[in-house]
Amino acid sequence: MRQKVMIGMAAVAAVLLARDLYVMLLKLPDEALQGAIYRIIFFHVPAAWTAFLCFFAAMIASILYLKGRNLKYDAFAAAVTEVGLAFGAANLITGMIWGRIIWGIWWTWDPRLTSMLVGWLIYAGYMMLRRAIEDPTERARLSAVLSVFAFADVPIIFFSIKWWRTQHPQPVVWGGGSMDPSMFNMLFTNWVPLLLLAGIFLMIRMRQEQNQRELDALRRYVHAF
Amino acid sequence: MAVPALRGAPARAGVKPPRLSFIRQSLTIASKDLRSELRTKEAINASFAFAIVILLLFSFAFEPTQQQTREMSGGLLWLVFAFAGALILNRSFARELPNDCLDALIAAPVSGAALFFGKALANVALLFAVELVSLPVFGIFYNVPWMQQFWPLVGIVLLGTWGITVIGTVFSAMTVNMRLRELMLPMLVYPIMIPGLLAAVQLTTPLVMGQPLGADSMIWLRLLVAYDVIFTALALALVETVLVR
């Protein structure tokens, strides 16, 4: 059943993505100032949204785990954090490619870039923590606590780095400005297939976690004799 | 024929152990930690020696007599404090591992929050002691007039130290049973410390240079206080979960 749902979701995502790519590449005009490269925003921004959504979901699942001590929530939190890390990496990498072309530099210590990197490192630490603990319930308990701390820290990091950077002249000013509505809508339209993709990754990761638990149980069973 | 031991038992059960308040319990834990640390001096000596070595290394990375280097003295100082702090924090719970002292402490009739709070107080005291010795060394090595704003500087150092120690103590409890404990703690805790460290750096730099805090520094003071309050509350709320298996 789950297999079929996953294949169905993948098919929908593929169709939507093909349609979005068609509109993006052939229908939407080049941006007045940036030319063709601006199209990376349709992946760059939804990837960031997906990552934050994943980290938020991880915090909720972690709280639920701490309340009920159901290992299912732990598996969900671990899986969703990993998917969030993947989308966070996609956000950082597309941002760097974009920055290289428009700003001429791979990286700038702008508040958003810095916050995303710090957030990414914190959640990478979450994955390291999981690797370092062998007992499943202890791993679940401690990583849930870390997830709560991490998500509490994310807004503080964002605002502190924003204040820090706005007190200094920025190397490249990237003004807010408005976007053409057809381009703006595409941000959301393209978010749908990316969310579906995140959902598929999540399901695959959850199944791996489940298999891992079953394997561990079997291994313990064998060692008992 | 009566058995003496059995006769004594009911009377003993009726005696309630003296109930200590949260603060008293924390202070007891803190004084125990400080006493055992001052007897062995294993963390504080290592931490202080490490701080001096880093200050020495910085002098190779940055020209120590240049004005530019002085302008980032806040950043250098807090890096030293964070590195030295990691050594103290690592020992904080690891010290309890031999003879299963940690299990005994958890089983003792003090709440996890009080145990944590006491350990955090002891860690703040130890790290603050290291910082108080590092500051004059830094002042001499880098020729900065750090004495001119002494009391505001002490206040900021205490606030910053509280922030990084309180979160560090929770993570010390989290990593205590882990392989690669010494590595995991700084790797997990430094990114989470960033807002507190950032605010402390912004406030420390003018003070170390002998300038008073201006109106534009207040946002950093507020951030630092908010960071301390938020993470102290969160740590007290979650530490029971961390400690009790």
What are the tokens at A141?
């308990």
- Would an 8 Å CB–CB cutoff place A157 in contact with chain B? yes
CB contact under 8 A, A142 and B174: yes
**Please, which residues have CB within 8 angstroms of residue B29's CB and are 6 or more apart in sequence?**
B105, B110, B114, B115, B117, B118, B119, B121, B122
**Please, which residues have CB within 8 angstroms of residue A77's CB and are 6 or more apart in sequence?**
A58, A61, A62, A65, A143, A144, A147
Residue of A73, A48, A43 lying closest to A61 (CA atoms):
A73
Among B49-53, B108-112, B185-189, B219-223, name the one with the lowest average pLDDT.
B108-112
Q: Biggest alpha carbon distance in chain B?
A: 88
pTM greater than the 0.90 cutoff = no
**For A99-108, how does the pLDDT look when each residue is reduced to its tens digit (9 = 90+)?**
888 888 888 8
Share of chain A above pLDDT 70, in %: 93
For chain A, positions 70-129, list CB contacts with chain B under 8 A: 118, 121-122, 125, 128-129
Pick among A164, A165, A167, A168 to test the B interface (most B CBs inside 10 A): A164
Q: Biggest alpha carbon distance in chain A?
A: 72
- Would an 8 Å CB–CB cutoff place B245 in contact with chain A? yes
- Would an 8 Å CB–CB cutoff place A224 in contact with chain B? no
What are the tokens at A112?
């958003």
Mean pLDDT along residues A45-63: 93
Cα(A153)–Cα(A133) distance, integer angstroms: 23
Q: Find the CB nearest A132 among B178, B192, B227.
A: B178
Residue type at position B24 = R
- Would an 8 Å CB–CB cutoff place A145 in contact with chain B? yes
CB contact under 8 A, B238 and A150: no
Among A13-22, A173-182, B145-154, name the one with the lowest average pLDDT.
A173-182
Q: Say if residue A173's pLDDT is above 50.
A: no
Q: Say if residue A180's pLDDT is above 50.
A: yes
Residue type at position A143 = S
User: In 10 A of CB B217, how many CB atoms?
Assistant: 18
Cα(A20)–Cα(A16) distance, integer angstroms: 6
Mean pLDDT along residues A194-199: 92
Q: Are B113 and B236 in contact (CB under 8 A)?
A: yes
Q: Are A39 and A28 in contact (CB under 8 A)?
A: yes
Q: Say if residue A166's pLDDT is above 70.
A: no
Residue type at position A64 = L
> Between A and B, how many CB-CB pairs are < 8 A?
74
Q: Are A30 and A38 in contact (CB under 8 A)?
A: yes
**What is chain A's mean pLDDT, rounded?**
86
**For A62-98, how does the pLDDT look when each residue is reduced to its tens digit (9 = 90+)?**
999 999 999 889 999 999 999 999 999 999 999 899 8
- Residues in chain A with CB shorter than 8 Å from the CB of B199 are 160
**What pLDDT, on a 0 to 100 scale, did the predictor assign at position B20?**
65
Cα(B61)–Cα(B58) distance, integer angstroms: 5
What are the tokens at A205?
């990761």
Mean pLDDT along residues B135-162: 90
Cα(B46)–Cα(B84) distance, integer angstroms: 8
- Is the dihedral angle over the CA atoms A46, A51, A55, A61 positive or is it negative? positive
Walk me through the domains of chain A, giving residue ranges and CATH numbers: 2-224 (1.20.120)
What are the tokens at A21?
């790519």
CA–CA–CA angle B157, B161, B163 (5° rounding): 125
Q: Find the CB nearest A153 among B179, B192, B245.
A: B192
